[in-house]
């Protein structure tokens, strides 16, 4: 149970303390076809891979940085939002 009385799905070690992890949401990279020329298709990036992790203390968003080189696949930006700063949170498809 979390301190708010909500059953936790998993606990994990994060920042040297145990947080309660609720269901993480992963959105893979979204690309659209931009141009087809001589049998080769070029794609444009609509949205990079990103993930949201909700714990009992904070909302964590992780997203890939924009690629500067085509094969550059490492690096990410982590944002931590304390629960006290969140007024409302909705999820839709």
Overall domain count for the chain: 1
Q: Is residue 92 part of a domain?
A: no
Tell me the per-residue pLDDT of 33-78, one tens digit each, with 9 for 90 and over: 888 888 888 888 888 888 888 888 888 888 887 666 666 667 788 8
Q: What is the residue range of 29's domain?
A: 23-84
Question: Is residue 5 situated within a structural domain?
Answer: no
pLDDT at 7: 45
In a domain, 12, yes or no: no
Please indicate, yes or no, whether the overall pTM of this predicted structure exceeds 0.75: no
| pLDDT given at position 1 | 42
- Distances from the Cα of 84 to the Cα of 12, 71, 76, angstroms: 21, 39, 25
Tokens 């979204």: give the residue.
30
Indicate whether 42 belongs to any domain: yes
Asked whether residue 65 is assigned to any structural domain, the reply reads: yes
Query: Does any domain span residue 73?
Result: yes
């Amino acid at each position: 149970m979390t301190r708010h009385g909500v059953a936790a799905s998993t606990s994990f070690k994060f920042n040297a303390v145990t947080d309660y992890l609720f269901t993480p949401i992963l959105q893979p990279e979204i690309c659209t076809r931009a141009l087809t020329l001589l049998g080769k298709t070029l794609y444009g990036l609509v949205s990079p891979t990103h993930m949201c992790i909700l714990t009992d203390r904070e909302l964590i968003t992780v997203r890939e940085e924009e690629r500067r080189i085509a094969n550059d696949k490492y690096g990410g930006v982590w944002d931590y939002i304390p629960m006290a700063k969140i007024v409302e949170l909705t999820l839709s498809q």
